[in-house]
Amino acid sequence: MWVFALWVALAVAVGMLAAKRGRSGGGWFLLSLLVSPLLGVIFLIVSKDLSKDDGLRVACPKCSEKILVTASVCPHCRSNIADDANFAEAVAALKRKPKEDSNNLMIGIGFIVALFVIAKVIDSF
């Protein structure tokens, strides 16, 4: 019984750490509860810390300073970036990024599940 309580407590800790890193605390709690708190914390540490990156800034194509995606003029170099194709491409890439992170996480989870299934099949022989 104490093993189950420890498992849940560690899963809660992973969820709290995830929330601190700008991730979904509830989602990471469930992942850790179902798979393993150890694997959950490993995935969390490997994933990008979203609390430090607000996701609203990209590099200016002229001076490379970080600026808001809604800017039409760079506040650093004063260049007009409203019609710049490189800036528009960088903003579009920024919007695609969270989906790529989610896909990578799902691939990792699928790999772990596949390892568990293979281990069970081998153990049954």
Q: 59 in a domain, yes or no?
A: no
Query: Tokens at residue 121, please?
Result: 């099949």
Is 8 contained in some domain?
Answer: yes
Q: In which element (H, E) is residue 68 found? A: strand 66-68
- Cβ neighbours of 68 (radius 10 Å): 13
Q: Is residue 61 part of a domain?
A: no
Q: Are 78 and 47 in contact (CB under 8 A)?
A: no
Q: Name the residue with higher pLDDT: 89 or 120.
A: 120
Q: Looking at the 3D structure of the chain, how many domains does it have?
A: 1
Residue 4 lies in a domain: yes
Domain contains 87: no
The answer to whether position 101 is within a domain reads no
Q: Is residue 115 part of a domain?
A: no
> How does pLDDT run across 34-91, given as a tens digit for each residue?
888 898 888 888 887 777 655 677 778 778 787 777 777 888 888 887 777 777 777 7
Question: Which structural domain, as residue segments, surrounds residue 31?
Answer: 1-51
Q: How many CA atoms lie within 13 A of 35 on its CB side?
A: 26
Q: Is residue 5, in this structure, part of any structural domain at all?
A: yes
